[in-house]
Chain A
Amino acid sequence: RKEVEQDPGPFNVPEGATVAFNCTYSNSASQSFFWYRQDCRKEPKLLMSVYSSGNEDGRFTAQLNRASQYISLLIRDSKLSDSATYLCVVRASGNTPLVFGKGTRLSVIA
């Protein structure tokens, strides 16, 4: 089982739609969780950290389920500018490196 798994998509959704991505991780000792966004031919950038109690940033909501070892990202009212690849990122602990999922591609269409 891969350390971090994501559905590669693509998810093609109309503007205004709500879309959700899930990501599963295999290391139960994982302590830090993030969603990064990567635009085509650009570098990844942090979208949001994921906290145990769940957190929201505008139209974006992230949740963590430790028992089932998955994190989710919900995007409400999708915009054309949300089209990108969303990377699920997990860190076990301390100085261990980040582990990246392969990403889920989202295409928001007019």
Chain B
Amino acid sequence: NAGVTQTPKFQVLKTGQSMTLQCAQDMNHEYMSWYRQDPGMGLRLIHYSVGAGITDQGEVPNGYNVSRSTTEDFPLRLLSAAPSQTSVYFCASSSGPYNEQFFGPGTRLTVL
């Protein structure tokens, strides 16, 4: 199993550009989440999903969209990138609400 994979590993964007961060898992997990991690702020939840077709907002959803058309994939879309979205983004999945959450290796995004 590859576990949770994320692409790209690094990305530089200009203000106003849009892009999609990809996340996939091959563990048949229902639960998937997107976090951003900034220095001194810890991990903050952006959006999450408890199954295909179901998504919900986390603590910091503004400026981001998600969809969950399959169990395996949970892409995160930045609609119009801003410098405040410079961060490290982690995708995570788990088989249930009380089970271990597995993280992907992260995407380091810089918005100029």
Query: Contacts A43-B105, A100-B42, A102-B41 given: A32-B98 contact, CB under 8 Å?
Result: yes
Chain B contacts with A in 1-57, Cβ cutoff 8 A: 33, 35, 40-45, 48, 50
CB–CB B104/A46 < 8 A: no
Q: Which residues of A contact B44 (CB under 8 A)?
A: 100
CB–CB A103/B58 < 8 A: no
Give the number of chain B interface residues (Cβ < 8 Å): 20
Is A98 interfacial (CB 8 A cutoff)?
Answer: yes
Is A9 interfacial (CB 8 A cutoff)?
Answer: no
| Contacting residue for A43 out of B40, B41, B50, B106, CB 8 A | B106
CB–CB B98/A45 < 8 A: no
Instruction: Report the minimum CB–CB distance from A53 to chain B (whole Å).
Output: 17
Closest to B35 in A: A100
Query: Contacts A44-B43, A101-B42 given: A91-B97 contact, CB under 8 Å?
Result: yes
Q: How far is the CA of A103 from the CA of B40 in the complex (A)?
A: 9
Is A94 interfacial (CB 8 A cutoff)?
Answer: yes
A sample of 9 cross-chain residue pairs with beta-carbon separation below 8 angstroms, ordered by A number, consists of A44-B103, A45-B103, A46-B100, A49-B100, A91-B98, A98-B101, A100-B35, A101-B42, A102-B40
Q: How far is the CA of A98 from the CA of B42 in the complex (A)?
A: 13
Q: Which residues of B contact A101 (CB under 8 A)?
A: 42
Is B74 interfacial (CB 8 A cutoff)?
Answer: no
CB–CB A102/B104 < 8 A: no
CB–CB A100/B43 < 8 A: yes
Instruction: Report the minimum CB–CB distance from A92 to chain B (whole Å).
Output: 10
Q: Which residues of A contact B90 (CB under 8 A)?
A: 43-44
Q: Which 3 A-B pairs have the closest CB atoms?
A: A102-B42, A43-B103, A100-B43
| Contacting residue for B101 out of A8, A42, A46, A103, CB 8 A | A46
Is A97 interfacial (CB 8 A cutoff)?
Answer: yes
Closest to A99 in B: B45
Is A81 interfacial (CB 8 A cutoff)?
Answer: no
